[in-house]
Amino acid sequence: MSNMVPIDIPAGLVNTASKARRSSNWREAHLMRWEGDTLVPIGGWTKLDLPAFASKVRLIHKWMTNAGIMYTAYLCESHCYVEFSGSLTDITPTGGMALPSANVGGYGDYKFNYGKYGTPRPGENRRRNYAATYSMDNWGDQLRVMTSHDGRLLGWDPGAAPGTKLTAVTNAPLNNRSFIITPERHIMLFGMGGKPDQFGWCDQENDTNWDFTDLDSRAGYYDIEPSSPIVAHQQFFGGIYMATMANNYYIRPIGLPYVYAYDQVADVAVPISPLSITRIPDGVIWVGIDGFWIFNGNATVPIPCDIWDHIQKRANFAATIDTGFMGVAENKSEIWWFYADQNDATKNRMVIIYNYRDKWWSMGWLGRTCLTTYGNDPNPLMSDGTYIYKHEYGFSYAPESKPWIESFTINMAAGDGLATFHQMRPEILDGREMVRFSLKKQMDRSNPHIETQSPQRGAFGDGLVDFRETARDFRLRVDMIAEQRWSIGQMLMDIRARGKK
């Protein structure tokens, strides 16, 4: 006799320290998402037919000229390239761009009497929350580029003669940190002119006019008070969010004579890295040392993160200061935040995914340095630092593993007694042959890390998955086994109580 009971596991992950927490939730996953209440794998990717880049790719920007020509720019740590019609052109400025400086130790660093006289000591982390950053945007049809370690505002005109390189914009200040291009048609520099606590902007529609004493110019600047170096910024529908190492500010246009004004908005954690910030329709979103935040133009509020325990346990926050990046997959209403984990301090290895429309969280093991989408293009571009990949393309995931997902504990009598998991009947909407199911079983709650896993099983022709496994606690695992789309809705489960031993 069947004892099938419907189990509706809601969309999204909930990840707490205890796997034994009894919860009707998914707990851990690799590259899974939900379409409504339906569980589906995130699409795969394919490597574009482009050569390896000479230095690590940190930013991708796509734009279309008024003539309808699409360009894609790739800003690397010390190079810049432009792609047009599948052809890649190196536009790195003559003389190159300097690499980010290493954190080299010096006098006063580390332990007293350490090492030999005249040799560098191990570097202290003086640049906490003050890592290198990268900026790109289009000024009309032209491209503007900046790296914080080069400091120049560089420009490139797609209409110029073939072989033209990036060149410094005439009269623009040097030794800057980053820039944005505002809707009011100003280029705004941050850490301007070598002053970490200063931001300023050029004359309207004229990025060669930075004369702040010219009464006919709309160029201007501010020195932030209280003084603190600028870390990050993000433009959004209401103005510009700016973070220093000490405070958060809102820059907004106010017209003549001051053009812009800025106000402190909240005493909350600033972005964990200069690029761990982006915009969504609701405002500016970023991740700090204490979680996710959003500024909507009026207030700064925390975003409840159901998997923050997972992030805190695995993240290498010190390394993420240099590597962390947040981007938007607009066609899916998702933000993707890439960060370094405890196993590798040199690069991003993990991603957190937040659907800001349906408010669910997911995760995956994926190393990427940047992400961009453009318009209605369904295929985001991402880079692993060396190559470029078109995502949401097919269901090939090499070299990463195929998607999978695991639930929280499923049991009877809160795990006080044994139970036999007889069968389940998942609502496999398509791709029945693409997935396999297994159970992770636990008998002793005093040793929560000791689990055994049943063999993977598929659904029979009548849709049943036959387990007949006995344990105190079960966790359901779903694995993708073939490169084809599949989806799962509601699940019926037959679980029967046994004795206590």
Assess if residue 291 is contained within a domain.
Answer: yes
Q: For residue 205, what are the domain limits?
A: 45-391
Assess if residue 396 is contained within a domain.
Answer: no
- What's the number of domains the chain is made of? 2
Q: Are residues 422 and 361 in the same domain?
A: no
Q: Within a 10 A sphere around the Cβ of 87, how many other Cβ atoms? A: 8
Q: Are residues 101 and 14 in the same domain?
A: no
Q: Are 454 and 482 in contact (CB under 8 A)?
A: no
Q: Are residues 410 and 339 in the same domain?
A: no
Task: Split the chain (501 residues) into runs of 10 and give each run's mean pLDDT.
Answer: 80 79 83 96 96 96 95 97 94 93 50 54 49 96 97 96 95 98 97 97 98 94 95 94 94 94 91 96 95 94 95 93 95 96 90 97 97 93 97 93 93 76 91 92 74 92 90 93 93 84 60
Assess if residue 19 is contained within a domain.
Answer: yes
Q: Are residues 256 and 376 in the same domain?
A: yes
Q: Are residues 327 and 376 in the same domain?
A: yes
Q: Answer with the one of 370, 391, 412 that is the final residue of a domain.
A: 391
Query: Rounded distance, CA 20 to CA 5, Å?
Result: 21
Assess if residue 92 is contained within a domain.
Answer: yes
Q: Are residues 23 and 148 in the same domain?
A: no
pLDDT at 23: 64
Question: What is the separation of C-alpha 358 from the centre of its chain, rounded to a whole number of angstroms?
Answer: 18
pLDDT at 344: 85
pLDDT at 119: 60
Q: What's the CATH code of the domain at 376?
A: 2.130.10.10
Assess if residue 398 is contained within a domain.
Answer: no
Copy the structure tokens of residue 367.
């190393």
Q: Are 55 and 77 in contact (CB under 8 A)?
A: yes
pLDDT at 417: 81
Task: Specify the DSSP element, H or E, that contains 322.
Answer: helix 317-323
Q: Answer with the one of 361, 391, 421 that is the final residue of a domain.
A: 391
From the list 239, 299, 238, the residue with the least C-alpha distance to 267 is 299
Assess if residue 240 is contained within a domain.
Answer: yes
pLDDT at 116: 58
What count of Cα atoms within 13 Å lies in the side-chain half-sphere of residue 391? Answer: 23
Query: Rounded distance, CA 310 to CA 339, Å?
Result: 13
Q: Are residues 35 and 55 in the same domain?
A: no
pLDDT at 236: 95
Query: Rounded distance, CA 159 to CA 169, Å?
Result: 16
Query: Rounded distance, CA 444 to CA 448, Å?
Result: 7
Q: Are 305 and 292 in contact (CB under 8 A)?
A: yes
Q: Are residues 320 and 413 in the same domain?
A: no
Q: Are 493 and 486 in contact (CB under 8 A)?
A: no
Q: Are 188 and 180 in contact (CB under 8 A)?
A: yes
Q: Answer with the one of 360, 391, 422 that is the final residue of a domain.
A: 391
Query: Rounded distance, CA 154 to CA 377, Å?
Result: 28
Q: Are residues 225 and 193 in the same domain?
A: yes
Assess if residue 478 is contained within a domain.
Answer: yes
Q: Are residues 355 and 427 in the same domain?
A: no
Rg (CA), the chain: 26
Residues 6+ apart with CB under 8 A from 304: none
Q: Are residues 338 and 221 in the same domain?
A: yes
Q: Are residues 58 and 29 in the same domain?
A: no
pLDDT at 18: 62
From the list 151, 132, 326, 128, the residue with the least C-alpha distance to 246 is 128
Q: What's the CATH code of the domain at 472?
A: 2.60.120
Residues 6+ apart with CB under 8 A from 49: 86
Query: Rounded distance, CA 192 to CA 178, Å?
Result: 8
Scan for tokens 């933000």, then name that residue. 335
Query: Rounded distance, CA 205 to CA 72, Å?
Result: 23
Residues 6+ apart with CB under 8 A from 178: 133, 134, 135, 146, 148, 189, 190, 191, 230, 233, 274
Query: Rounded distance, CA 71 to CA 145, Å?
Result: 14
Query: Rounded distance, CA 31 to CA 41, Å?
Result: 6
From the list 364, 305, 361, 360, the residue with the least C-alpha distance to 339 is 364
Q: Are 344 and 353 in contact (CB under 8 A)?
A: no
Assess if residue 397 is contained within a domain.
Answer: no
Scan for tokens 């910030």, then name that residue. 277
